Amino acid sequence: MSQRPALGCLLEVVETLALTLIIFVVIQTFVAQPYRVEQMSMERTLEPDQYVLVDKLTPRLGPYNRGDIVVFTPPDDWVQGDGTPFIKRVIGVAGDEIEIRDDGRVYVNQIALEEPYVYQVDGQSQPTITSTEPPRWVVPDGELFVMGDHRASSSDSRTFGPIETSNVIGRAWLRYWPIDTFGVLQTPNHPELQATGP
């Protein structure tokens, strides 16, 4: 075999590897990326050590909605040593008034939010509590109010306030590992809030 065909074959392999790397980087930067759940704050919806695929493309084409599960960079005071992003559920969008009342329920624009995804104890949804006084927030433009589904084990907007949408990495939409948990993460449509916007 001459040196020329061997060199051509080597160049082909290098080109293929380079193209594969470029495609991988483009997909992970702009389209989707894997995320490993490390916190307990989204139990039972998402358990620690499960993997989800984070959609980074469609949020660029439209706003985040109530019920979306998002992965985001936490506020500076909450960044962990290894820089792990947080994963929480969107409870309120820009303009929403969020209130946590004594009955342990979350109210959005004066309407009690139906939350079947909240962590349950003995078949009953865990009450939502906060130490913030007053327990009420109005979500500014360009921000989201987020909470974990396991309210007693979640550091979220009840503590650090609404987050900027510019800090959101993307929307978690597919749980893919372990394989027996594979499935699309459903977003509740909250019919009780349909009259109040997105």
Residues with catalytic function: 41, 88
What is the 3-class SS of 119-153, one letter each residue?
CEECCEECCCCCCCCCCEEECCCCEEEEECCCHHH
Which H or E element spans position 107?
strand 106-108
| Alpha helix positions (H), 27-123 | 58-61
- CB-count exposure of residue 176 (10 Å: 0-12, 13-18, 19+): middle
Task: Please name the residue ranges forming H helices in the chain.
Answer: 3-26, 58-61, 157-160
